[in-house]
Amino acid sequence: MTLDKDALLTRIDAKRDELVALTQDLVRIPTVNPPGDAYEACARLLGERLRKRGFAVEYLRAEGAPGDKDSHPRVNVVARMEGQGSGECVHFNGHIDVVEPGPGWTHDPFGGVVQDGRVYGRGTCDMKGGIAASVIAVESILDAGIRFPGAIEISGTVDEESGGYAGVGYLASLGYFSRPRVHHVIIPEPLGVDRICLGHRGVWWAEVETRGRIAHGSMPFLGDSAINHMAAFLHLLEDQLGPKLRDRRTAQPVEPPGARVSTLNINSVHGGQVEQTYSVDDQGRPTGDLPSPVVSHSCRTVLDRRFIAEETLEAVKGEIVGMLDELKATRPGFDYGVREIMSFLPTATPRDAPVVDATARAIARVLGREPSYISSPGTYDQKHIVRTGKMNHCVAYGPGLLDLAHQPDEYVGIQDMVDSAKVMALAALQLTRGQAA
Ligand SMILES: [Zn+2]
């Protein structure tokens, strides 16, 4: 087996150019989300390549899922290669969508330019470089003629950047991320070649509305300003809740360390008249719409509350509602509503899960050092695999630096991709052998 492994690693080294070319091909398909451009072309590029290698390939459009429409169909691809004999299935899942390029690029964001040992472009690091590394890893196993039991799957899924409901969420609802079909999942997100991400903090998104009474803006005392009520609530969030959250530390190894506490972001505030842009000409005369004087009867804010494994979702909600109730009891005229938008619990794959062990051993073998174990401040598709797939044998491991994700001049290091492909290949071989190995 030792000899086989060495030959396999050498083979992956030899596929360096092929790995770069596949990354470039993927990056040159601008799968920008929103709106979800060119998903099908990207899914088919992966699917047809793997079909030629003998994989059974399925294209699954998430009809009826959020975001799916004929102009922008949410097409996912799942490819499966059966091994010889009974064993377990390891699944490599990558999201094919990328965020918009935004300003500030010095390279063509969809050019796949190679320079100084890096491939540049939107999605190189997050996470088409990781997808390409997983494909090359598995193809190298096949090329080397290494027999494995169980099965290996590779999927390209959509919409991770917008919640993953039409991607991993949809496939999970169909059983694609559950036993007995799948036993281990590796998500090649850009966490770094020597880091294994075990899970993420929880999230609760909610919209809070304060209510008031409309009146003429010249006589605000005749109305009741919902914006003033909101200001009182926001003040409490900052003064009362903020210090509490900063003191609430988690034992999970969240990276960066600043995120090893509970956090709250006020995502948006909207109150009063609909948003307009007002302008005057050089004489001071209005050139467009003008506001009319009203006291605001409604103000809404969207809260993005990230919570730690040591908290419960009920406590997180109860804390906010408790503050609103306190205002209702003490502040004349205060009234509110809460609409929950989304929630996911914190996830943490056990350190002794086979997928963690296999990835750690492979990192030690390929890089000659022990991995570090981390947790993510934000959620990613693991949330669907845990909640809907009911499976917590899942890690995120892949090439690239998380800090570069969504930035201008995003890139992935070519040596990182080669190294992570080696790690993924060795981990897959260990995992397909199952518990008996
Ligand atoms: Zn990503």
Whether the predicted pLDDT of 397 surpasses 70: yes
Whether the predicted pLDDT of 389 surpasses 80: yes
Q: 310 C-alpha vs ligand 1 centroid, how far in Å?
A: 26
Q: 126 C-alpha vs ligand 1 centroid, how far in Å?
A: 5
Average pLDDT value for residue range 65-94: 97
Q: 380 C-alpha vs ligand 1 centroid, how far in Å?
A: 7
Q: pLDDT class for 437, splitting at 50, 70, 90?
A: very low
What's the pTM? 0.91
pLDDT of residue 322: 98
pLDDT of residue 134: 98
Q: 160 C-alpha vs ligand 1 centroid, how far in Å?
A: 7
pLDDT of residue 1: 47
Q: 274 C-alpha vs ligand 1 centroid, how far in Å?
A: 34
Which residues fall inside 5 Å of ion ligand 1, going by CB? 126-127, 189
For 1-18, what is each residue's pLDDT tens digit?
454 899 999 999 999 999
Token digits of residue 84:
């010889």
Q: 49 C-alpha vs ligand 1 centroid, how far in Å?
A: 22
Whether the predicted pLDDT of 436 surpasses 70: no
Q: 96 C-alpha vs ligand 1 centroid, how far in Å?
A: 9
Token digits of residue 363:
């990192």
For 99-114, what is each residue's pLDDT tens digit?
999 999 999 999 999 9
- Rounded to whole angstroms, the Cα distance separating 437 from 434 reads 6
Token digits of residue 381:
């598709």
Strand order in the sheet with 263-271: 263-271, 298-307, 202-211, 335-344
Q: 412 C-alpha vs ligand 1 centroid, how far in Å?
A: 13
Amino acid sitting at position 309: A
pLDDT of residue 63: 96
Q: 427 C-alpha vs ligand 1 centroid, how far in Å?
A: 21
Whether the predicted pLDDT of 274 surpasses 90: no
Q: 403 C-alpha vs ligand 1 centroid, how far in Å?
A: 11
pLDDT of residue 435: 59
Does residue 79 contact residue 153 with C-beta atoms inside 8 Å?
A: yes
Average pLDDT value for residue range 277-299: 91
What is the rounded (10 degree) CA torsion for 36, 39, 41, 43? 170
- Average pLDDT value for the chain: 96
Q: 423 C-alpha vs ligand 1 centroid, how far in Å?
A: 19
Average pLDDT value for residue range 72-100: 97
Q: 13 C-alpha vs ligand 1 centroid, how far in Å?
A: 25
Whether the predicted pLDDT of 156 surpasses 60: yes
Q: 188 C-alpha vs ligand 1 centroid, how far in Å?
A: 8
pLDDT of residue 369: 97
Token digits of residue 188:
């090649």
